[in-house]
Chains A and B, each alone.
Chain A
């Protein structure tokens, strides 16, 4: 992107884009090119307020590639990594925050990433931390069920974490077939025949669990309940380490979120008793 002088002035305009990372990079292109700092950047489906002009930014992979290449070149590899991670995070107004960061970083260079106390950098770093922590949590908290030899699991994360946990599970289950369905972001990580890919899927119907699966689930619950020491009970501590939002997908505690909502019959099916 040589030739650009990234100085921008605030403008009463809202950019909308298709929600893809390439689309977002085109918004960056637009801002640098026009020299304006938009009031906000939204995905097309999140209809923006009407007080401002709305400009729909078309995704152009050539433009996107120019912006992407400029980041390691003019700033640093670390900046690109940070930008990608924050883009997958659930930070409010993440597009605008990243744009503001990039505009400054083009001028100040890679060292901006290390101004950990800077007001433009700190929110990005904490969004990155939030995502990485959630990914780390899920590496432990995901529960698979064996369905006809394949392993399946469902998650409801706040951030778009699948790309960040994929490698971990591929290594762990290199000889298995598995799928992790992300209900929040409507996507699924599918691994079979040694290949992993992330697909966009609205809904996955999980088949009924088998008798042997139900037995292992029951054994696990029993272990979970037995291993706790009564005289040391400390629900607050449990909650800090294992926030409640994960519980719905963890069979050993899901019953505590919706007490008695479901029960496993000896035959193995889950029935609702509500």
Chain B
């Protein structure tokens, strides 16, 4: 089979992995710019790495996966030389920042890992490749191989795959919970040990300097959003993960245990999860502040931060001229950049609405929640107006989509469909009325 065909097959079978893993770290002598996107594909996702599988042969039979052994499809494998050279030539032409390598399980987990290590070894030592490498460990492979992989890659990851053990047993019967969490623990420990070695001996080989990440599939199993973000929060704390990626399940194979083939991927839900994840990592939110046992699923119309604000009106208005950075961050319409700029700018004079606007605050949203040198909002802001300003217009571009396929908890009303309304403006009006009355 020629290289073009192999590339096509092995890209196709790798692409459902959602992560845009461009975040890098500066290795000595390596020039990985943080967050450098080299292109964007037609689905709007960042391309920074050559994302392929080593092979799509697989001895496992995970129900949700196109590469599962019981699925009939064309199979192939790169040779390590082939893939190393392709990566290098793409990198030279500035097409990519590096390689994102994962694989189906061929022969055995250890054999597969050895093939992957071979690619990384050729790249680093024969081609003197200084770009970024993200490699996925194969569940069930030996700790020694995980270690060798980590010494060649910038980032390694172990996928949790599904948000609970029950779902894992049901949908990925060959993967045991233990086979996922023990390498995660190992990587966390190796990283810590490596940090200490580096203190003593500067030239010690570095172990996955960009840390570890993980990924889970959303919408193939019945967990609530609350369960998912609590799991993510726990993993951030316990295994020092750099990122958790959420990947909307795209039906690729027919199975009675899975959503039907024509089900639309839960993109809005995935979007909300990333927003919540961001709030936990960057804004200091706790998972219980975002969702709870009583409201276990996201509000489709409001992003999680606005949703929190609307439900915690007693915390506002915030005085932009005196409030702490953390408090500013909680205001809808003020992001990390504008919050930091506010703190700098107010040292040199009090801030009014005009200054805030020039700083980049989204006043349309923020105005109901802030107090400035020239304006104090009324004690009880008009609910309807506030809601109208906060509604996430993106909701409508995601089209009709159920937030959770297994939603039995009483959630917000479903989105207005194209049959109910004539235009987005009308849809917004409907939503405003419905939300304002339920607050």
Contact = CB atoms under 8 A, between A and B. Distances in A.
Interface of A: 111, 114-119, 122, 136, 139-146, 151, 153, 168, 171-173, 175-176, 216, 218-220, 222-238, 240-242, 250, 252-253
A138 to B, nearest CB: 10
Given A237-B44, A242-B39, A144 B356 contact: no
B257 interface: no
Interface in B12-52: 12, 15-16, 31, 33, 36-48, 50-51
29 contacts: A115-B348, A117-B345, A117-B355, A118-B358, A142-B94, A144-B93, A151-B92, A168-B31, A173-B92, A218-B4, A219-B86, A220-B90, A222-B7, A222-B8, A223-B50, A227-B11, A229-B250, A231-B250, A232-B43, A232-B250, A235-B44, A237-B40, A238-B40, A238-B42, A240-B44, A241-B44, A242-B37, A242-B39, A252-B39
Given A122-B358, A140-B48, A229-B15, A220 B93 contact: yes
B38 A223 contact: no
Contact of A141 (B38, B50, B250, B351): B38
Interface of B: 3-4, 7-8, 11-12, 15-16, 31, 33, 36-48, 50-51, 86, 89-90, 92-95, 97, 128, 130, 248, 250, 264-265, 267, 341, 344-345, 347-349, 351, 354-359, 397
DSSP majority for the A interface? helix
A24 to B, nearest CB: 25
B129 to A, nearest CB: 11
Contacts of A234: 42-44
Closest 5 CB pairs of A and B: A237-B44, A117-B355, A228-B41, A234-B44, A232-B43
Contact of B341 (A116, A141, A171): A116
A176 B345 contact: no
A72 B354 CA distance: 29
Contacts of A225: 42
Dominant secondary structure at the B interface: mixed
A145 B36 CA distance: 20
Q: Which of A141, A219, A227, A238 has the most CB of B within 10 A?
A: A227
Contacts of B349: 115
Contacts of A216: 89-90, 93
A25 B365 CA distance: 43
B315 to A, nearest CB: 25
A117 B346 CA distance: 9
A114 B16 contact: no
B11 A241 contact: no
A235 B42 CA distance: 6
A75 B37 CA distance: 36
B44 A238 contact: yes
Given A117-B358, A235-B42, 4 more contacts: A140-B39, A226-B7, A229-B16, A241-B37
Contacts of B36: 136, 139-140
Nearest to A242: B40
Contacts of A222: 4, 7-8
Contact of B4 (A219, A235, A253): A219
B355 A231 contact: no
B33 A116 contact: no
B403 to A, nearest CB: 17
Contacts of B31: 168, 171-172
